[in-house]
Amino acid sequence: MKWLELVLVAGSTLLAAVTVTVLYALGVRLTAIAGDTRTAQPGWIRPLSYLCFGLCGLAVLFGLYLIIPYFSK
């Protein structure tokens, strides 16, 4: 068995899962901060949260592109 390839796949899977989770959690947190009406927030927080959600979606779509054989022909 090729152990180096196994470690490489496991590491990249862990990195991808952590990246998607952090981007989604950061997007949720920034959306909550932008929706807080008690304090005045800078105008760049809500677009930054949408950017986090967009990057999360792109990471998921790229993972689907890698998994589905039809797209990688």
Q: What is the reported pLDDT for 40?
A: 78
**Cα Rg of the chain, angstroms:** 17
Q: What is the reported pLDDT for 16?
A: 93
Q: What is the reported pLDDT for 52?
A: 97
Mean pLDDT of 5-16: 93
Q: Domain map of the chain by residue range? A: 20-73
pLDDT at residue 72 tops 80: no
Distance of alpha carbon 16 from the chain centroid: 8
pLDDT digit string, tens, across residues 22-70? 999 999 999 999 888 787 788 899 999 999 999 999 999 998 998 898 8
Q: For residues 46 and 30, is the Cβ–Cβ distance under 8 A?
A: yes
